[in-house]
A and B are shown apart, each in its own frame.
Chain A
Amino acid sequence: AQSVTQLGSHVSVSEGALVLLRCNYSSSVPPYLFWYVQYPNQGLQLLLKYTSAATLVKGINGFEAEFKKSETSFHLTKPSAHMSDAAEYFCAVSERNTDKLIFGTGTRLQVFP
Protein backbone atom coordinates (compact mmCIF):
# COMPACT_ATOMS: atom_id res chain seq x y z
CA ALA A 1 0.00 0.00 0.00
CA GLN A 2 1.12 3.49 -0.69
CA SER A 3 1.91 5.93 2.08
CA VAL A 4 3.51 9.29 2.66
CA THR A 5 5.46 10.49 5.68
CA GLN A 6 6.10 14.15 6.30
CA LEU A 7 8.79 14.71 8.89
CA GLY A 8 7.98 17.62 11.17
CA SER A 9 4.45 18.89 11.68
CA HIS A 10 5.80 22.42 12.22
CA VAL A 11 8.76 24.16 10.64
CA SER A 12 9.85 27.69 11.47
CA VAL A 13 12.31 29.76 9.45
CA SER A 14 13.38 33.35 9.27
CA GLU A 15 12.50 35.45 6.26
CA GLY A 16 15.23 34.95 3.67
CA ALA A 17 16.31 31.57 5.03
CA LEU A 18 16.22 28.25 3.22
CA VAL A 19 12.96 26.32 3.40
CA LEU A 20 13.20 22.52 3.53
CA LEU A 21 10.08 20.41 4.02
CA ARG A 22 10.64 16.68 4.08
CA CYS A 23 8.55 13.99 2.44
CA ASN A 24 9.23 10.27 2.13
CA TYR A 25 6.96 7.91 0.29
CA SER A 26 6.28 4.24 0.09
CA SER A 27 5.05 2.74 -3.14
CA SER A 28 5.43 -0.61 -4.81
CA VAL A 29 5.27 0.93 -8.27
CA PRO A 30 6.73 4.13 -9.72
CA PRO A 31 4.61 6.85 -8.22
CA TYR A 32 3.32 10.26 -9.07
CA LEU A 33 4.26 12.72 -6.33
CA PHE A 34 2.74 16.07 -5.46
CA TRP A 35 3.13 19.00 -3.15
CA TYR A 36 0.04 21.04 -2.32
CA VAL A 37 -0.17 24.25 -0.29
CA GLN A 38 -3.07 25.40 1.84
CA TYR A 39 -3.25 29.05 2.84
CA PRO A 40 -5.48 29.96 5.80
CA ASN A 41 -9.18 29.51 5.11
CA GLN A 42 -8.55 28.26 1.59
CA GLY A 43 -8.55 24.99 -0.30
CA LEU A 44 -5.48 23.16 -1.50
CA GLN A 45 -3.48 24.47 -4.42
CA LEU A 46 -0.96 22.47 -6.42
CA LEU A 47 2.63 23.64 -5.95
CA LEU A 48 4.33 21.09 -8.16
CA LYS A 49 4.19 17.48 -9.30
CA TYR A 50 6.49 14.71 -10.43
CA THR A 51 5.11 12.40 -13.11
CA SER A 52 8.28 10.75 -14.45
CA ALA A 53 9.89 13.53 -16.42
CA ALA A 54 12.82 15.44 -14.90
CA THR A 55 13.62 14.45 -11.34
CA LEU A 56 14.04 18.09 -10.31
CA VAL A 57 10.64 19.69 -10.51
CA LYS A 58 10.07 23.42 -10.36
CA GLY A 59 6.79 24.77 -9.08
CA ILE A 60 5.08 28.03 -8.38
CA ASN A 61 6.35 30.75 -6.03
CA GLY A 62 9.99 29.64 -6.32
CA PHE A 63 9.51 26.18 -4.83
CA GLU A 64 11.14 23.07 -6.20
CA ALA A 65 11.39 19.41 -5.26
CA GLU A 66 13.69 16.58 -6.24
CA PHE A 67 12.57 13.01 -6.73
CA LYS A 68 15.20 10.64 -5.30
CA LYS A 69 14.23 7.07 -5.94
CA SER A 70 17.14 5.64 -3.92
CA GLU A 71 16.00 7.58 -0.86
CA THR A 72 12.24 7.35 -1.62
CA SER A 73 12.12 11.07 -0.97
CA PHE A 74 10.51 14.11 -2.53
CA HIS A 75 11.61 17.01 -0.33
CA LEU A 76 10.35 20.53 -1.02
CA THR A 77 12.78 23.44 -0.98
CA LYS A 78 12.88 27.18 -1.53
CA PRO A 79 16.15 29.11 -1.33
CA SER A 80 14.74 32.18 0.40
CA ALA A 81 11.57 32.21 2.49
CA HIS A 82 9.06 35.01 2.21
CA MET A 83 6.43 35.96 4.75
CA SER A 84 3.75 34.99 2.24
CA ASP A 85 5.01 31.39 2.26
CA ALA A 86 3.47 30.82 5.68
CA ALA A 87 0.94 28.05 5.09
CA GLU A 88 0.39 24.33 5.49
CA TYR A 89 2.08 22.07 2.97
CA PHE A 90 0.96 18.58 2.03
CA CYS A 91 2.90 15.90 0.20
CA ALA A 92 0.83 13.33 -1.70
CA VAL A 93 1.43 10.16 -3.69
CA SER A 94 -0.60 8.25 -6.23
CA GLU A 95 0.03 5.23 -8.39
CA ARG A 96 0.56 5.82 -12.05
CA ASN A 97 -2.56 5.57 -14.13
CA THR A 98 -4.75 6.44 -11.19
CA ASP A 99 -5.56 9.70 -9.51
CA LYS A 100 -6.41 8.51 -6.03
CA LEU A 101 -4.09 10.59 -3.93
CA ILE A 102 -2.81 9.58 -0.53
CA PHE A 103 -1.85 12.62 1.54
CA GLY A 104 0.69 13.11 4.27
CA THR A 105 -0.30 14.68 7.55
CA GLY A 106 0.97 18.11 6.56
CA THR A 107 3.70 20.50 7.67
CA ARG A 108 2.85 23.98 8.89
CA LEU A 109 5.47 26.51 7.84
CA GLN A 110 5.94 29.66 9.90
CA VAL A 111 8.10 32.50 8.61
CA PHE A 112 9.46 35.04 11.07
CA PRO A 113 10.65 38.53 10.11
Chain B
Amino acid sequence: DADVTQTPRNRITKTGKRIMLECSQTKGHDRMYWYRQDPGLGLRLIYYSFDVKDINKGEISDGYSVSRQAQAKFSLSLESAIPNQTALYFCATSDFRIAGPDTGELFFGEGSRLTVL
Protein backbone atom coordinates (compact mmCIF):
# COMPACT_ATOMS: atom_id res chain seq x y z
CA ASP B 1 0.00 0.00 0.00
CA ALA B 2 1.12 3.55 -0.76
CA ASP B 3 2.49 5.62 2.12
CA VAL B 4 0.62 8.71 0.90
CA THR B 5 -2.83 8.05 -0.52
CA GLN B 6 -4.97 10.55 -2.38
CA THR B 7 -8.64 10.24 -3.22
CA PRO B 8 -10.17 10.59 -5.70
CA ARG B 9 -7.50 9.98 -8.34
CA ASN B 10 -9.64 11.53 -11.03
CA ARG B 11 -12.62 13.84 -10.81
CA ILE B 12 -14.65 15.78 -13.34
CA THR B 13 -16.96 18.43 -11.99
CA LYS B 14 -18.84 21.54 -13.04
CA THR B 15 -18.22 25.19 -12.33
CA GLY B 16 -19.60 26.22 -8.95
CA LYS B 17 -19.53 22.79 -7.36
CA ARG B 18 -17.78 22.10 -4.05
CA ILE B 19 -14.98 19.59 -4.29
CA MET B 20 -12.90 17.91 -1.62
CA LEU B 21 -9.64 16.11 -2.24
CA GLU B 22 -8.46 13.89 0.54
CA CYS B 23 -5.02 12.79 1.60
CA SER B 24 -3.99 10.24 4.18
CA GLN B 25 -0.53 9.05 5.14
CA THR B 26 0.95 6.15 7.03
CA LYS B 27 4.46 7.58 7.32
CA GLY B 28 3.84 9.17 10.71
CA HIS B 29 5.02 12.56 9.46
CA ASP B 30 3.88 15.76 11.11
CA ARG B 31 4.11 17.95 8.06
CA MET B 32 1.72 17.79 5.13
CA TYR B 33 1.40 19.84 1.96
CA TRP B 34 -0.89 20.41 -0.99
CA TYR B 35 0.68 21.32 -4.33
CA ARG B 36 -0.85 22.03 -7.68
CA GLN B 37 0.85 21.05 -10.96
CA ASP B 38 0.15 22.81 -14.24
CA PRO B 39 2.00 22.18 -17.52
CA GLY B 40 4.93 24.53 -17.85
CA LEU B 41 4.51 25.92 -14.34
CA GLY B 42 5.92 23.12 -12.23
CA LEU B 43 4.49 22.58 -8.76
CA ARG B 44 3.11 25.42 -6.71
CA LEU B 45 2.35 25.27 -3.01
CA ILE B 46 -1.29 25.81 -2.02
CA TYR B 47 -1.32 25.14 1.72
CA TYR B 48 0.87 23.41 4.25
CA SER B 49 0.46 22.18 7.79
CA PHE B 50 3.22 21.57 10.30
CA ASP B 51 0.89 19.90 12.76
CA VAL B 52 -2.83 19.56 13.43
CA LYS B 53 -3.12 23.09 14.84
CA ASP B 54 -0.73 24.80 12.45
CA ILE B 55 -2.00 25.54 8.95
CA ASN B 56 -0.39 28.03 6.59
CA LYS B 57 -1.11 29.52 3.21
CA GLY B 58 1.22 28.83 0.34
CA GLU B 59 1.79 30.92 -2.75
CA ILE B 60 -1.59 30.22 -4.43
CA SER B 61 -4.15 29.69 -1.66
CA ASP B 62 -6.96 31.86 -3.07
CA GLY B 63 -10.02 29.76 -3.88
CA TYR B 64 -8.87 26.87 -1.69
CA SER B 65 -9.26 25.83 1.91
CA VAL B 66 -7.83 22.95 3.92
CA SER B 67 -8.58 20.90 6.98
CA ARG B 68 -6.14 18.86 9.05
CA GLN B 69 -8.45 16.36 10.67
CA ALA B 70 -5.68 14.34 12.28
CA GLN B 71 -1.95 13.92 12.00
CA ALA B 72 -2.50 11.49 9.15
CA LYS B 73 -5.22 13.33 7.22
CA PHE B 74 -5.13 16.58 5.29
CA SER B 75 -7.93 17.53 2.93
CA LEU B 76 -8.14 20.25 0.30
CA SER B 77 -11.45 21.89 -0.60
CA LEU B 78 -12.54 24.00 -3.50
CA GLU B 79 -15.66 25.77 -2.23
CA SER B 80 -16.83 26.83 -5.68
CA ALA B 81 -14.76 25.26 -8.42
CA ILE B 82 -13.82 27.25 -11.52
CA PRO B 83 -12.25 26.05 -14.79
CA ASN B 84 -8.80 27.49 -14.07
CA GLN B 85 -8.59 25.17 -11.09
CA THR B 86 -8.33 22.31 -13.54
CA ALA B 87 -4.98 20.77 -12.63
CA LEU B 88 -3.15 17.84 -11.10
CA TYR B 89 -3.07 18.10 -7.32
CA PHE B 90 -0.46 16.47 -5.13
CA CYS B 91 -0.37 15.84 -1.43
CA ALA B 92 3.03 15.44 0.21
CA THR B 93 4.46 14.77 3.64
CA SER B 94 7.77 15.40 5.33
CA ASP B 95 9.57 14.43 8.50
CA PHE B 96 11.44 17.48 9.57
CA ARG B 97 14.34 16.66 11.80
CA ILE B 98 17.61 18.50 11.45
CA ALA B 99 20.21 16.14 10.00
CA GLY B 100 17.73 13.28 9.93
CA PRO B 101 17.91 10.78 7.08
CA ASP B 102 14.90 12.32 5.35
CA THR B 103 15.89 15.94 5.94
CA GLY B 104 14.11 18.23 3.56
CA GLU B 105 12.61 15.45 1.48
CA LEU B 106 8.97 15.43 0.49
CA PHE B 107 7.07 12.18 -0.05
CA PHE B 108 4.32 12.50 -2.63
CA GLY B 109 1.02 10.83 -3.30
CA GLU B 110 0.17 9.76 -6.84
CA GLY B 111 -1.93 12.82 -7.53
CA SER B 112 -5.57 13.76 -8.04
CA ARG B 113 -6.48 14.96 -11.50
CA LEU B 114 -9.31 17.50 -11.32
CA THR B 115 -11.20 18.80 -14.34
CA VAL B 116 -13.64 21.67 -13.90
CA LEU B 117 -15.99 22.14 -16.83
Contacts and interface: CB of A to CB of B under 8 A. Distances in A.
A113 B101 CA distance: 37
Contacts of A17: none
Interface stretch (B13-21, B36-44, B62-70, B74-82): B36-44
Interface string A36-51: 0000011111100101
Contacts of B43: 44, 90, 103
Contacts of B4: 43
B108 interface: yes
Contact of A43 (B31, B90, B98, B104): B90
Interface centre among B4, B45, B94, B106 (most CB of A within 10 A): B106
A8 to B, nearest CB: 12
B102 to A, nearest CB: 9
A9 B40 CA distance: 8
Interface string B84-117: 0000001010101010000111101111000000
Contact of B104 (A9, A34, A45, A104): A34
Contact of B90 (A32, A44, A94): A44
Interface residues on B, range: 20 to 34
A84 interface: no
A106 B90 CA distance: 15
A47 B105 CA distance: 11
A51 B103 contact: yes
Given A44-B90, A94-B104, A100 B45 contact: yes
Contact of B31 (A44, A99, A104): A99
Given A42-B110, A43-B4, A106-B40, 6 more contacts: A51-B104, A100-B45, A101-B45, A101-B106, A103-B42, A105-B40
21 contacts: A9-B40, A32-B103, A34-B105, A41-B110, A43-B90, A44-B90, A51-B103, A90-B43, A94-B104, A97-B98, A98-B96, A99-B94, A99-B96, A99-B105, A100-B45, A101-B45, A101-B106, A103-B42, A104-B42, A105-B41, A105-B42
Interface of A: 9, 32, 34, 41-46, 49, 51, 90, 94, 97-101, 103-106
